[in-house]
């Protein structure tokens, strides 16, 4: 990575820290300065105190030095404690904002990016790296380390500068000491960088191993997987695979890495102790010749040791910052994923009569990263108020057809028109407001029943009740302990109610009705319902849809009798269109094949 790129990433990273929490950023840096300076106060005053004792100073003078030492140390400690408290508050702010940043990005992404496997793996990887301490958290640590070490170097230099002007210590000794300090720093920095690269390579090697381990761990604790794990005796197999994976990781990666790292740090540690011994000997030599006071010996030894530690810490902070830039770059790469879906600017015509005409004109589509066509040369028109049934076998393109209609994806080829205008030209949010959809994989949330129906924290209670009644949920609602205020599921509330799949489907249908959009789209709306509830939905289908344009996806062809038009999909193409009676009367084709295949289960 070039220096200019390092600088760009570092600048952006510092901006991110301030954006996530100005409080944490500011107070952590101030705390670093105070914590760096604090050790030098007792060093300086203690040296003066020792010299005063050795010089036979009066008790009053000694008391003043002792009081100043304790007083300044106490004040700096109190200031550091206050700064630390503010930093902790800021850290919580940073944690909350950083987590919400993922949610905000997900809501801003194109749906194609949300479904993309590589995007999901990238997000999981940078989240794991954040938990490990890399990217923005690591940058904050490196910045505070840099500031702390810089302050220590300045303080150490100020208190040891006089050492090099001691006449009783020969010039060659001073130069030798300076060279020794430089050599120790170079050697230690070199081996520390090797250790850092070793650890970085270790983390790179373990990325997908960690992902596997996390997934296996999730299987063990996932509520939805609990039934299968127990019924099929999968717990032991999952446990063995998880433990084997971690044992292999420990043996192959961690043990060799730690042993190598330990040996690499050994030369620097030896040189540090040799240098410390040399400083002692120089000061003893100077003291015997009367050139250094007793207090100065303690001051110089302590400050030179702190100086070396600070220089090494500074080098370490710089090295780690450079290494961390790679993680920051990956972090930013996720948040830089563009939303390439064209938003449009035309206002969707608001019609009191809800008269909207939709046309698929030679539409073909394949999912990103694939070569297979999910839809091919689809041509279809339907008008407002029509009830369109979309039928076909699994994988025939039915749900993809709906995703394109709702602009979760845009066609690869061809165009979709609303009232004769390419839907890509409409304002995206306005266009989305036209549709109420119940997908097969709809999601209910661990909030109240009313909030689930309204998809909002505030809602019209009378309207919610009316929608639940139309969806066939009124009897179950009346039995709920808190009515519309009953929380669903027990994720956050011990009084939450667990609901069945069929009940959840009715709530999802009520949510679609509550939105009151001109188009209502139902993707297998009775798949989880019992026969009685299914009959109720079918028999009341027209009243449920009202004057809205309804698109109804189903495998159960009996439901198609309620629809004005049927589109039969096969292998991504529309192979037949017409009414139920027309398609049966044709005496052949895919619809008759599907109808006869189902009819055999209902006739003797």
Tens digits of residue pLDDT in 333-347: 999 998 888 788 888
Query: Exposed, middle or buried: residue 542 (CB in 10 Å: 0-12, 13-18, 19+)?
Result: middle
Structural fold of domain 442-516:
Rossmann fold (3.40.50)
**Phi and psi at residue 244, to the nearest 5°:** -65, -40
* More confident of the two residues 500 and 269: 500
The rounded mean pLDDT for the chain is 82
Using alpha carbons, list the distances in angstroms from residue 196 to 3, 9, 203, 226.
Answer: 19, 20, 11, 41
Q: How many CA atoms lie within 13 A of 147 on its CB side?
A: 16
Asked whether the beta carbons of 508 and 444 are under 8 A apart, the reply is: yes
Structurally, at CATH architecture level, domain 354-434+518-604 sits in 3-Layer(aba) Sandwich (3.40)
| Contacts with 15 (C-beta within 8 Å, 6 or more apart), sequence order | none
- What gap in Å lies between CA 376 and CA 103, rounded to an integer? 34
Residue 258's pLDDT is 65
The stretch 493-519 carries a mean pLDDT of: 87
- What gap in Å lies between CA 355 and CA 516, rounded to an integer? 15
pLDDT at 193 over 90: no
- What gap in Å lies between CA 268 and CA 280, rounded to an integer? 19
Residues of the chain with CATH 3.40.50.300: 354-434+518-604, 442-516
| pTM, two decimal places | 0.74
* Per-residue model confidence as pLDDT tens digits over 389-442: 898 888 889 889 999 999 999 999 999 999 889 999 999 888 988 888 888 788
Q: Angle at the Cα of 325 (from 319 to 328), degrees rounded to 5?
A: 145
Q: How many Å from the N-terminal Cα to the C-terminal Cα in the chain?
A: 74
Using alpha carbons, list the distances in angstroms from residue 472 to 504, 508, 511, 554.
Answer: 11, 11, 12, 19
- What gap in Å lies between CA 85 and CA 81, rounded to an integer? 6
Q: Please give the structure tokens belonging to residue 113.
A: 């990016």
- What gap in Å lies between CA 282 and CA 474, rounded to an integer? 91
The stretch 29-33 carries a mean pLDDT of: 92
Q: 47-61, 216-230, 303-317, 445-459 — which one is most confidently predicted on average?
A: 445-459
Give the torsion sign (CA, 77, 79, 81, 87).
negative
- What gap in Å lies between CA 28 and CA 87, rounded to an integer? 6
At residue 604 the predicted structure's pLDDT band, cuts being 50, 70 and 90, is: very low
Q: Please give the structure tokens belonging to residue 335.
A: 């948040």
Asked whether the beta carbons of 506 and 533 are under 8 A apart, the reply is: yes
Q: Please give the structure tokens belonging to residue 399.
A: 């749900």
């Amino acid at each position: 990575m070039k220096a200019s790129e390092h600088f760009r990433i570092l600048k952006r990273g510092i901006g991110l820290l301030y954006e996530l929490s100005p409080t944490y950023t500011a107070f952590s840096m101030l705390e670093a300065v105070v914590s760096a300076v604090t050790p030098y106060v007792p060093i300086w005053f203690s040296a003066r105190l020792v010299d005063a004792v050795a010089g036979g100073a009066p008790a009053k003078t000694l008391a003043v030095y002792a009081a100043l030492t304790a007083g300044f140390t106490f004040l700096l400690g109190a200031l550091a404690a206050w700064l630390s408290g503010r930093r902790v508050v800021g850290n919580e702010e940073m944690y909350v904002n950083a987590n919400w940043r993922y949610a905000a990005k997900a809501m801003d992404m194109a749906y194609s990016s949300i479904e993309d496997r590589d995007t999901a793996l990238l997000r999981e990887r940078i989240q794991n790296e954040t938990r490990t301490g890399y990217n923005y958290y690591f940058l904050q640590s490196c910045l505070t380390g840099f500031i702390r070490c810089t302050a220590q170097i300045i303080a150490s230099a100020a208190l040891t500068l006089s050492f090099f002007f001691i006449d009783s210590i020969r010039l060659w000794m001073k130069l030798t000491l300076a060279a020794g300090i430089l050599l120790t720093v170079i050697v230690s920095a070199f081996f520390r960088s090797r250790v850092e690269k070793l650890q970085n390579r270790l983390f790179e090697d373990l990325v997908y191993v960690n992902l596997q381990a996390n997934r296996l761990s999730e299987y063990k604790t996932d509520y939805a997987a609990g039934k299968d794990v127990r019924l099929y005796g999968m717990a032991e197999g999952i446990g063995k695979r998880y433990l084997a994976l971690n044992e292999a990781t420990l043996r192959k990666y961690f043990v060799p890495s730690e042993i190598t790292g330990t040996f690499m740090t050994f030369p620097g540690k030896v040189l540090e102790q040799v240098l410390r011994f040399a400083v002692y000997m120089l000061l003893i030599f100077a003291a015997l010749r009367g050139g250094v006071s007793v207090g100065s010996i303690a001051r110089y030894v302590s400050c030179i040791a702190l100086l070396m530690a600070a220089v090494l810490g500074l080098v370490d902070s710089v090295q780690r910052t450079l290494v961390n830039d790679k993680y920051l770059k990956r972090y930013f790469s996720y948040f830089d994923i563009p939303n390439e879906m064209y938003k449009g600017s035309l206002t969707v015509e608001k019609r009191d009569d809800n008269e909207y005409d939709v046309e698929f004109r030679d539409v073909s589509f394949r999912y990103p990263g694939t070569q297979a066509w999910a839809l091919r040369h689809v041509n279809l028109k339907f008008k407002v108020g029509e009830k369109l049934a979309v039928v076909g076998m699994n994988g025939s393109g039915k749900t993809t057809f709906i995703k394109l209609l709702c602009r979760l994806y845009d066609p690869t080829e061809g165009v979709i028109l609303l009232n004769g205008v390419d839907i890509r030209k409409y304002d995206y949010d306005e266009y989305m407001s036209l549709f109420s959809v119940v997908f097969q994989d709809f999601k209910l949330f661990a909030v109240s029943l009313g909030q689930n129906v309204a998809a909002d924290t505030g809602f019209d209670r009378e309207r919610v009740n009316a929608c639940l009644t139309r969806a066939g949920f009124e009897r179950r609602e009346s039995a709920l302990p808190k009515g519309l205020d009953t929380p669903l599921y027990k994720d956050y509330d011990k009084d939450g109610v667990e609901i069945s799949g069929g009940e959840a489907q009715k709530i999802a249908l009520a949510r679609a009705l509550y939105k009151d959009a001109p188009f209502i789209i139902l993707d297998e709306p009775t798949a989880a319902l019992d026969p009685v509830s299914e009959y109720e939905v079918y028999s009341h289908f027209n009243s449920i849809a009202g004057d809205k344009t309804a698109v109804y996806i189903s495998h159960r062809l009996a439901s198609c009798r309620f629809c004005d038009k049927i589109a039969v999909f096969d292998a991504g193409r529309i192979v037949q269109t017409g009414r139920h009676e027309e398609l049966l009367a044709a005496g052949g084709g895919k619809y008759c094949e599907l109808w006869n295949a189902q009819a055999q289960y209902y006739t003797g």
